[in-house]
Amino acid sequence: MKLEFKNINDSHITAKSVFYLYGNYKKTLGVFCDFILEKFMACYQCPAENIDVFSGSVTECLKSMSEQCDLFNNRVVCFCMRGVEDSHLEKISPLLEREGNIFILESGDYAKSKKITDYFQKSKFPAVASFKSDITLYSLCRMLIPAAPSSVTAEIVKIINNSDEDLRSLFKKISILVDAHDYDLLQEYVTYKSTFFQQLDFIPMVRYMLNMAIKEKIYERKQEGMSFSRNNIVQSLLKSEISQKFGKNLGKSYLYEMVQIGYVGNR
């Protein structure tokens, strides 16, 4: 059955749960696995030492199951599998819903996982959409930090879109502040993350922009308020870094102008 992150609740989490994440945003698996395990431990008062976690490819997880199944008695085992494709369906499906096993599966290549995605969408197991979109990020925030004010959630989405920080790290920090109702410090942290870009010196800013330009061109990851779509943007940024190193003081405004939406200059 199709679900969004925000729809996941305690009723979906048992000692034989199965979750399938599909879409082109592959950063959510780790933070989702953490969320499910923390919820399971809280709901069933299960200490962490009674849970084993295996993360890896389908082949690696299946190998662990066959080699160490004798160790799993009276323990809960969570398998976080990456790259699940159509060819794995026949091997995986008989293993699902075994008592004491939690499966969190992430789809692999889109062209090679259409059949298995359709299988989970039509099954009773939660098939959770994970795409490179603000809709996914808002839904993820509502699942992980439901108590956060909507204004803070909107800022968090902006931070994720413009940051390379690991989602696990980011959400752990924010969750601690939300749980403590420390909204003043939370707002300070959000403001700090939001203004990080403006605080960079010229050379770090060029390199940060280069990183974002490459992501936009390769992964089609747009940056709010900026455009890296010009064909020669990478070359222009590299030239500006070289010029700055050789003593030409260009100033950060030069970089801001270069990536402004609608900029047509040729420098």
Say what the pTM is: 0.70
Give Cα separations from 248 to 230, 242, 263 (angstroms).
23, 9, 22
Coil/strand/helix, residue 55: strand
Name the average pLDDT for the chain. 81
Question: How far apart, in whole angstroms, are the C-alpha atoms of residue 130 and residue 22?
Answer: 6
| Neighbouring residues of 97: CB distance < 8 A, sequence distance ≥ 6 | 16, 18
Average pLDDT over residues 157-172: 79
Kindly report, residue by residue over 11-68, the tens digit of the pLDDT.
999 989 999 999 999 999 999 999 999 999 988 888 888 888 888 999 988 888 776 6
Given a cut of 80, is residue 89 above it in pLDDT?
A: yes
Given a cut of 70, is residue 173 above it in pLDDT?
A: yes
Kindly report, residue by residue over 179-229, the tens digit of the pLDDT.
777 767 777 777 666 666 556 677 777 777 777 777 666 655 555 456 666
